[in-house]
């Protein structure tokens, strides 16, 4: 599983409405009770984050014959929220066995398989359901598109991404979107192919040359990156991110004065981003102008004091100006920031 896979649904939240299964003016079949316990009461507990109590009520409801509808689905959602994916899969499987039209359980079974890295197993369930799962804040087209990408079904992946955004499946926008998503998953060749096709369909499409430039940067092809970013500038001259990336490419290519010009434009267009300020500091260090470097790096440090790259460059700038104590302080800060998440000794 790629390093991005574990981050895909990290922000998923359990949103279960206590009244979701109710019908106005009456009690639904899903509210069959055992004492005072109902599926609605279990949902209410889950919605308040009282998952253990909700699970206890589900255990009581599971003893009914027949079992109340929705019990295994909710059990699976709780397991999923707690990242107990094998248990979630078992619950969703039972829910689907009880109701073959339970699209949410089918979908969540596929998503849970995806979270376990079982991509091929996940695809049939995601394809079968393809309905938004509100209880887990998941767009199935996105998950399915990632699955397709991981098994190199790039056309299918593009179509799924396009469906999420409402693009025509083979439009220039769909190719560009797929290319950006593929680059996030470090599928550089596939990303470049998609961006190239997007430009073939629409030579004036904004952001396509920028994407090709990012691919070139990832390949350490600085000349190619500069060419693509300069082409993008002709189409999209007020994009601050473009000048940030162009400045980065110039800097890596040793074109320090060109980097300063591009990064100055990035700062003018977007003064609240730390990236251009840091790169300007680095560029001025390369130009042997540590005083000017300090100006930009001090500003970057105020914006984000926990960025160790900034402190490392500050240390170099202070050392170049003969301020040894300040330089040592910055280098010590770098070490502290890099090790701030290390396990602490017992008793500390």
Q: How many residues does the chain have?
A: 348
As a three-state string, the secondary structure of the chain is CCCCHHHCCCCCCCCCCCCCCCECCECCHHHCCECCECHHHHHHHHHCCCHHHHHHHHHHHHCCCCCCCCHHHHHHHHHHHCCCHHHHHHHHHHHHHHCCCCHHHHHHHHHHHHHCCCHHHHHHHHHHHCCCEHHHCECHHHHHHHHHHHCCCHHHHHHHHHHHHCCCCCCHHHHHHHHHHHHHCCCHHHHHHHHHHHHHHCCCCCCHHHHHHHHHHHCCCHHHHHHHHHHHHHHCCCCHHHHHHHHHHHHHCCCHHHHHHHHHHHHHHCCCCHHHHHHHHHHHHHCCCHHHHHHHHHHHHHHCCCCHHHHHHHHHHHHHCCCHHHHHHHHHHHHHHHCCCCCCCCCC
Q: 187: which 2 tokens? A: 């599928």
CATH code reported for the domain at 1-22+34-151: 1.25.40.10
- Domain positions in the chain: 1-22+34-151, 273-341
Do the Cβ atoms of 216 and 239 come closer than 8 Å? no
Q: Do domains 1-22+34-151 and 273-341 have the same CATH topology?
A: yes
Q: 254: which 2 tokens? A: 């040793």
| Whole-number Å distance between alpha carbons of 32 and 199 | 58
**What is residue 12's predicted lDDT score, i.e. its pLDDT?**
39
CATH code reported for the domain at 273-341: 1.25.40.10
What are phi and psi for residue 259, nearest 5 degrees? -60, -45
Give me the tens of pLDDT residue by residue for the chain, a chain 348 residues long.
Answer: 333 333 333 333 343 333 333 333 333 334 443 447 888 888 888 888 888 888 998 888 888 878 778 889 999 999 998 899 999 999 999 998 888 888 889 889 989 999 999 999 999 888 887 655 555 555 678 889 999 999 999 999 999 999 989 999 999 999 999 999 999 999 999 999 999 999 999 999 999 999 999 999 999 999 999 999 999 999 999 999 999 999 999 999 999 999 999 999 999 999 999 999 999 999 999 999 999 999 999 999 999 999 999 999 999 999 999 999 999 999 999 999 988 776 665 554
What are phi and psi for residue 23, nearest 5 degrees? -120, 145
| Whole-number Å distance between alpha carbons of 161 and 187 | 15
């Amino acid at each position: 599983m790629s390093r991005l896979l574990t981050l895909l649904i990290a922000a998923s939240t359990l949103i279960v409405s206590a009244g979701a299964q109710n019908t106005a003016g009456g009690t639904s079949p899903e509210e069959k009770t055992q004492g005072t316990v109902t599926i609605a009461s279990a949902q209410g507990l889950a919605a308040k984050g009282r998952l253990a109590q909700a699970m206890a009520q589900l255990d009581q409801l599971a003893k009914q014959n027949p079992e109340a509808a929705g019990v295994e689905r909710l059990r699976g959602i709780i397991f999923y929220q707690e990242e107990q994916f094998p248990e979630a899969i078992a619950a969703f499987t039972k829910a689907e066995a009880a109701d073959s039209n339970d699209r949410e359980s089918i979908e969540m079974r596929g998503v849970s398989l995806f979270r376990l890295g079982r991509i091929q197993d996940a695809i049939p369930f995601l394809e079968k359901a393809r309905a938004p799962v509100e209880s887990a804040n998941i767009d199935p087209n996105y998950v399915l598109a990632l699955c397709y990408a991981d098994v190199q079904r790039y056309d299918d992946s593009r179509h799924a991404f396009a469906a999420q955004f409402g693009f025509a499946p083979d439009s220039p926008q769909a190719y560009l979107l797929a290319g950006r998503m593929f680059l996030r998953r470090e599928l550089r060749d596939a990303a470049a192919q998609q961006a190239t096709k997007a430009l073939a369909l629409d030579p004036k499409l904004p952001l396509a040359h920028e994407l090709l430039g990012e691919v070139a940067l990832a390949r350490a092809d600085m000349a190619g990156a500069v060419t693509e970013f300069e082409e993008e500038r002709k189409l999209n001259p007020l994009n601050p991110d473009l000048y940030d990336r162009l400045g980065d490419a110039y800097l890596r290519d040793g074109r320090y004065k060109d980097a300063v010009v591009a990064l100055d434009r990035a700062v003018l267009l977007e003064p609240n981003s730390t990236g251009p300020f840091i790169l300007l500091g680095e560029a001025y260090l390369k130009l042997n102008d540590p005083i000017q470097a300090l100006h930009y790096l001090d500003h970057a440090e105020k914006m984000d004091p926990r960025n160790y790259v900034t402190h490392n460059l500050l240390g170099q700038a202070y050392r170049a100006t003969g301020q040894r104590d300040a330089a040592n302080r910055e280098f010590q800060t770098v070490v502290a920031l890099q090790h701030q998440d290390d396990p602490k000794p017992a008793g500390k």
